[in-house]
């Protein structure tokens, strides 16, 4: 609500941080006709969540909408009295802006948990049941660094879906059902009229294949493999054109299925048919 109020009279804004949130805010502000400058200290956008070739693709979509992206931005600070009026760079130059939005990630506040004696390491550590190092104390949501059996590591996940599914898992365990949360993490992001969805951890895939193109199919699906196994996906689509495909791919990864890659990459072959084949 505060951002909406700030944008009402703004003509130029700076967004600090080119992660999912920074890019979404930039897309919304551009759609309102506001000149946007995204400042990223790293060499490219979305480095935590996407491999370089896909980050470049998203950069192209944004620049096609006149969003200006400044990577390797050497920021010094903000100028202004009661309100920010400019962003200052390390070389002494300035960019006049009406507002600045900072979206540079979060650090979990584990102080309460640590004081209570729970083991923490970038979040409250839990097993796959959601239990912390203290029996009968569970942790879920953004603050929980839970053990993910499929990926064999502790990981904090930041999405509504994760918070909800972890809640269901913990409730089952509290009620006495042994239940292990073993997700293929999913998230989506609407930027302009494009929807980006990811499954798994795309920044980590060793090899990529592509199914369809945005230009000819209204959607392109990038399939990421590690050790020859399909384990991550990124779709870029007009609106929700790829939504059903991503659901099927999530199921295939959950099942540890390894469909024929030629078929997987052929947009004329329905993914549902591949799922059916796998089940048989
Ligand atoms: C700008 C933004 C955009 C996002 N967009 C998306 C999106 O599009 N899709 C998506 O899936 N996810 C999105 N997320 C992530 C999503 O909001 C979180 O993953 C989700 O809210 C996590 O739920 P949670 O219950 O763990 O934490 P929260 O929703 O943060 O809730 C934690 C609550 O605990 C309270 N609290 C903290 N400490 C204490 C204490 N000591 N005692 C009592 N209460 C306390 C906090 O005040 C807060 O109300 C977004 C996040 C942000 C910041």
75, 39 contact by CB (below 8 A): yes
The predicted pLDDT at position 278 comes to 82
- Would you say residue 163 lies in a domain? yes
Token reading at 141:
């949501």
- Would you say residue 108 lies in a domain? no
pLDDT tens-place values along the chain, 280 residues long: 999 999 999 999 999 999 999 999 999 999 999 999 999 999 999 999 999 999 999 999 999 999 999 999 999 999 999 999 999 999 999 999 999 999 999 999 999 999 999 999 999 999 999 999 999 999 999 999 999 999 999 999 999 999 999 999 999 999 999 999 999 999 999 999 999 999 999 999 999 999 999 999 999 999 999 999 999 999 999 999 999 999 999 999 999 988 899 999 999 999 999 988 887 6
Is there an atom of ligand 1 within 6 Å of 112 CB?
yes
Structural domain span for residue 209: 186-272
The predicted pLDDT at position 279 comes to 74
| Residues whose CB falls within 8 Å of the CB of residue 225, separated by 6 or more in sequence, listed in order | 205, 206, 207, 208, 209, 231
| 241 and 263 housed in the same domain | yes
| 117 and 200 housed in the same domain | no
- Would you say residue 278 lies in a domain? no
Domain boundary residue, one of 174, 205, 224 = 174
| 24 and 72 housed in the same domain | yes
| 84 and 117 housed in the same domain | no
Q: How far apart are the first and last CA of the chain?
A: 50
- Would you say residue 22 lies in a domain? yes
Domain boundary residue, one of 102, 122, 151 = 102
Is there an atom of ligand 1 within 6 Å of 163 CB?
yes
Any idea what the CATH number is for the domain that residue 221 is in?
3.30.390.30
Instruction: From 141, 162, 168, 186, give the residue whose CB has the most ligand 1 atoms within 8 Å, as the site to mutate.
Output: 141
Q: pTM value?
A: 0.93
The total number of structural domains in the chain stands at 3
Domain boundary residue, one of 67, 102, 137 = 102
Q: What is the DSSP secondary structure assignment for residue 70, as one 8-state letter?
A: E
Measured between alpha carbons, how far is 237 from 194 in angstroms, rounded to an integer?
5
| 66 and 35 housed in the same domain | yes
The predicted pLDDT at position 277 comes to 86
| 164 and 190 housed in the same domain | no
The predicted pLDDT at position 243 comes to 97
Any idea what the CATH number is for the domain that residue 19 is in?
3.50.50.60
Nearest atom in ligand 1 to the alpha carbon of residue 109 is 38
| 97 and 11 housed in the same domain | yes
Is there an atom of ligand 1 within 6 Å of 19 CB?
no
| 199 DSSP β-pair partners | 186, 233
Is there an atom of ligand 1 within 6 Å of 139 CB?
no
| 15 and 93 housed in the same domain | yes
- Would you say residue 230 lies in a domain? yes
Measured between alpha carbons, how far is 145 from 126 in angstroms, rounded to an integer?
6
- Would you say residue 179 lies in a domain? no
């Amino acid at each position: 609500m505060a951002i909406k109020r700030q944008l009402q009279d703004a003509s130029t804004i700076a967004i600090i941080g080119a992660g999912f949130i920074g890019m979404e805010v930039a897309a919304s502000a551009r759609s309102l006709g506001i000149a946007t400058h995204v400042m990223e200290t790293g060499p490219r956008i979305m480095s935590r969540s996407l491999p370089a070739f896909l980050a470049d693709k998203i950069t192209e979509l944004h620049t096609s909408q006149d969003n200006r992206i400044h990577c390797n931005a050497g920021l010094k600070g903000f100028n202004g009295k009661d309100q920010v009026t400019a962003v200052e760079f390390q070389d002494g130059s300035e960019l006049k802006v009406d507002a600045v939005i900072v979206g540079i990630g979060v650090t979990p506040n584990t102080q309460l948990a640590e004081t209570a004696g729970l083991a923490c390491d970038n979040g409250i550590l839990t097993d796959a049941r959601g239990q912390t190092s203290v029996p009968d104390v569970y942790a879920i949501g953004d603050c929980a660094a839970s053990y993910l059996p499929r990926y064999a590591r502790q990981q904090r996940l930041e999405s509504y879906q994760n918070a909800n599914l972890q809640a269901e898992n913990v409730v089952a365990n509290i009620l006495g059902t042994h239940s292990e949360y073993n997700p293929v993490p999913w998230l989506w992001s609407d930027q302009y009229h494009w929807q980006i969805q990811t499954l798994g951890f795309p920044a980590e895939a060793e090899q990529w294949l592509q199914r369809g193109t945005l230009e000819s199919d209204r959607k392109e699906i990038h399939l990421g493999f590690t050790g020859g196994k399909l384990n991550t996906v990124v779709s870029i689509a007009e609106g929700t054109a790829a939504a059903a495909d991503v659901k099927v791919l999530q199921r295939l990864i959950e099942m540890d299925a390894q469909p024929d890659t030629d078929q997987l990459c052929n947009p004329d072959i329905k993914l549902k048919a591949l799922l059916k084949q796998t089940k048989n």
